[in-house]
Amino acid sequence: MSAIDKIKEDIETNDIVLYMKGTREMPQCGFSSRVAGVLNYLGVTYKDVNVLADAEVRQGIKDFSDWPTIPQLYVKGEFVGGCDIVTEMTLSGELDKLFDDKGIAYDKGRADQIRAANA
């Protein structure tokens, strides 16, 4: 199976996929840590893919999304963005709306806490 086929399969079979450097338990860069931290804090169930473990997947996800950086977040097959976009969406409430619209379970109270702490 090619890297692109594996990426397509992951995105099609998981509601949320985070392509990141490292893992949710041990991120290997600050940007990946921030996005995983938001998802973890909100109690979201997601698949984490460590791009450092496979150079073909690392390049493949960049080619697949036509987005040059890692991390990359996918929700219900849709590319959401990287760290800056996810951070902005979290603070504006857009991430809540996306999760609500897509039927993704998350802790709304904790989402409000993130916004309150950053107001």
**Domain residue extents for the chain:** 3-117
Q: Report the percentage of the chain scoring pLDDT > 90.
A: 98
What is the chain's mean pLDDT, rounded? 97
Please tell me the predicted confidence (pLDDT) of residue 1: 84
Residue 45 exposed, middle or buried by CB count within 10 Å (0-12, 13-18, 19+): exposed
Q: What is the 3-state secondary structure (H, E, C) of 32-100?
A: HHHHHHHHHHCCCCCEEEEHHHCHHHHHHHHHHHCCCCCCEEEECCEEEECHHHHHHHHHHCHHHHHHH
Q: What is the pLDDT of residues 58-99, one digit of tens each?
A: 999 999 999 999 999 999 999 999 999 999 999 999 999 999
This prediction's pTM: 0.96
CATH class of 3-117: alpha beta
